[in-house]
Structure 1
């Protein structure tokens, strides 16, 4: 391909099941790499009151509501990109893309099956211990220190209000009268 020459778009049919043509029995076959669409009937299933007020129910559909892992939104084009001057065959590019996506998804699923439960238990245990220590030890100790040093807080507040604040206010008013003019000669 020469520089400046417009490239032609080539459409390649891989026989994907997402084509709009009808299938023999009138239904689309299921594919392993696509999640089935959510049915309205599944949302209307009767659940107990405890499940309805649960904090985890919205996490089923929105798993990163605060966007903590936005840096992990990686596609094939973010990792591998061929310039116009160097190109592999179209089939190589398409199959590389497909294998990248399938291996990324399935290896992630396999690793999460192996690691998700133990890491969740360890994280829950760690946060439970830290929460317990903070609620039952750190907060009461800080509260006791604040109660015991209330006189020191009052004294410091008076020192700031009587000595430091007026001194800095008068110094600011004295220095506020100065002006600097820069002139180019």
Structure 2
């Protein structure tokens, strides 16, 4: 995948106080943490026919198209928040934020590697068995019952049309003549 020329990276400097020195050799300072691309920047990513397989460049861009897991969009600020009255040092806050994000991402990846394939196999097996059971057992049984009780359906529609419908229609007309007026005294 290739990025367009107009995309920008947001960098957060986590360096110590010694990072304020100027670099004589013209190199940029090494940043320990980079923020992810914004949604607008992800849409500007152009793909070629030769797609590189990498952890940072997913093959499937939209992995939750129906928003099933919107409740799991958790950021550091959703979990930890300091009020104005009590605050830790800026470096503690920045490093805590970075460690939270890195540990959240990597622990998720490790657990996914351990559980994703077995859970996919179990889920696929379960849905295959349920589909087969529904297609070859439940569906035909329901159709047999519907065919066998077709006379009962027609009898029930006659009973509803001849007895119940006129009774409810006349009751509705009788009670429809009543009106209630509220007055303040």
User: TM-score with structure 2 length normalisation?
Assistant: 0.72
Could you say if the C-alpha distance between residues 32 and 89 of structure 1 is closer, same or farther in structure 2, counting changes exceeding 3 Å? Answer: closer
Q: Which residue of 2 aligns with 1:92?
A: 92
Instruction: Give the number of the structure with larger relative contact order, counting CA–CA contacts within 8 Å between residues 6 or more apart.
Output: 2
Deviation at 1:14, TM superposition (A): 3.0
Q: Which residue of 2 aligns with 1:131?
A: 131
Deviation at 1:130, TM superposition (A): 0.4
1:163 matched to 2:163? The reply is: yes
Could you say if the C-alpha distance between residues 39 and 67 of structure 1 is closer, same or farther in structure 2, counting changes exceeding 3 Å? Answer: same
* Preserved contact between residue 14 and residue 95 of structure 2 (Cα < 8 Å): no
* Preserved contact between residue 14 and residue 94 of structure 2 (Cα < 8 Å): no
Q: Which residue of 1 aligns with 2:14?
A: 14
Q: Which residue of 2 aligns with 1:83?
A: 83
Residues 41-52 of structure 1 aligned to structure 2 (within 5 Å): 41=48, 44-45=49-50
CA distance in 2, matches of 1:100, 1:182: 63
Q: Which residue of 2 aligns with 1:178?
A: 178
CA distance in 2, matches of 1:158, 1:67: 47
* Preserved contact between residue 76 and residue 101 of structure 2 (Cα < 8 Å): yes
Residues 16-165 of structure 1 aligned to structure 2 (within 5 Å): 38-41=45-48, 44-45=49-50, 60-165=60-165
Could you say if the C-alpha distance between residues 85 and 113 of structure 1 is closer, same or farther in structure 2, counting changes exceeding 3 Å? Answer: same
Give secondary structure in 2 for the equivalent of 1:60: coil
Q: Which residue of 2 aligns with 1:53?
A: none
Which runs of no fewer than 5 residues in structure 2 stay unpaired? 1-11, 16-25, 52-58
Deviation at 1:76, TM superposition (A): 0.3
User: TM-score with structure 1 length normalisation?
Assistant: 0.72
Q: CA RMSD in A?
A: 2.8
CA distance in 1, matches of 2:119, 2:35: 26
Following superposition, which runs of at least 4 residues in structure 1 exceed 6 angstroms of deviation? Answer: 31-35
